[in-house]
Structure 1
Amino acid sequence: MTTHRPHTTRESYDTVAADYEKLLRDELANSPFERAMLGVFAERVLDAGGGRVADLGCGPGRITGHLASLGLDICGIDLSPEMIAVARWAHPRLRFDVGTMTALDFEDGSLAGALAWYSTVHTPPAGLPAVFDEFHRVLAPGGLLAMAYKVGDESVHLTHAYGHDLALDVYRFPPELIAELLGDAGFIEAARLVREADGPTATTPQAYVLARKPE
């Protein structure tokens, strides 16, 4: 059985933080599917009256900054202190804090929206229920969750990425499993988009999901 090692994930992202930000800074400009789903997420949160949104596993804040430009009141949370330092440098007008997705520093029902954009890829399937339960806890009734993840049913161990030696387990999930686990946590899936691998930064199919916490 694979064991989740958050300390190893944190250390790896601390190592690559500055180069990661440089390499992926403009990646969203080349990702029309991502922009489309993020746009729908932002529009639906705003149409529901807006409110606080959290980018959970925000990395250097590139998605946080994009959603802020679309009008969301958003903050970022990440396990890696170095990623948070880079995010604060890159987006000085936004708030970023160190935190973990399994113990979020938000009150129950306090968020209008939550984003987990490829931030569950280092969590083994057995660890996802606790993460989804925490997402459900912090969202207000009617709140919206947006997720992106890699599609598949296997894991890959990385020893080198973004120009550095590191140690990261990357998990791919079947969409049916994610839908089932979100349902078990109390979410209703509102939309799902799966796209095929189409480039050097998308070498496997990718999935995007919008899920709602019932009123």
Structure 2
Amino acid sequence: MDKILLIEDDHKLQKYIKDYLEAYDFEVESVSDFGKVMEQVEESKPDLILLDINLPTFDGFYYLRVIRKKSSVPIIILSAHSDEGEQIRGMEYGADDYVTKPFRIGILLAKIHAVLRRAHHRAEESQSAGELKLLHDSMKLQYKEQIMELSKNEFRLMHLFMKKAGGIVTREEFLEALWDEHVFVDDNTLTVNITRIKKKLSQYGLHNVITTKRGVGYVFDPNAC
């Protein structure tokens, strides 16, 4: 069940949206203390945020900028203003979509589904362990803001490492992942590729992420990232 955090100070509209979305099996949490919006964002860990622009204390654009410095959580703006400049501003600050009040609740639901589908698709295209991320679409490795190129074999091995993070991956499993009907793959090929991965990780300062279980295989430790 996806969790939605609703940041809306109109209590009547807040209840209407909450009741409607809960009827469609969403978990909806509403902000009640607008002096502690960011605290609730961090505690809630929502899958999507519905963010009103006209709020007490700070406006929605302020919260949008602050959230985007820390998180890529999908955000849909709710606003009573329909002018193009404000919509562009919202998208430039990192909003995923924009809904103008008054709106039909069915339209909002459709936009929520669309934004979550994109977010889930992006999640499927990458694997993460701490601040280390394997980017499937570009076959690259990212650590914080640094990007590193991977060969095809290195990418296959990292994919398996992160898929089975914390557990032992046998050499047989790695050899199967490397198997290519056009290229001969042997035990030495595996050792060479894992050594290269370790060297690349060490360039990030990640020296103990991969450990050898002699006679069995290897372990990728996500807590070391």
As a proportion of its length, which structure holds more helix? 2
Question: Relative contact order (alpha carbons < 8 A, sep ≥ 6): 1 or 2 greater?
Answer: 1
More strand by share: 1
Structure of larger gyration radius: 2
Length-normalised TM-score, structure 2? 0.35
**TM-score, reference length from structure 1:** 0.37
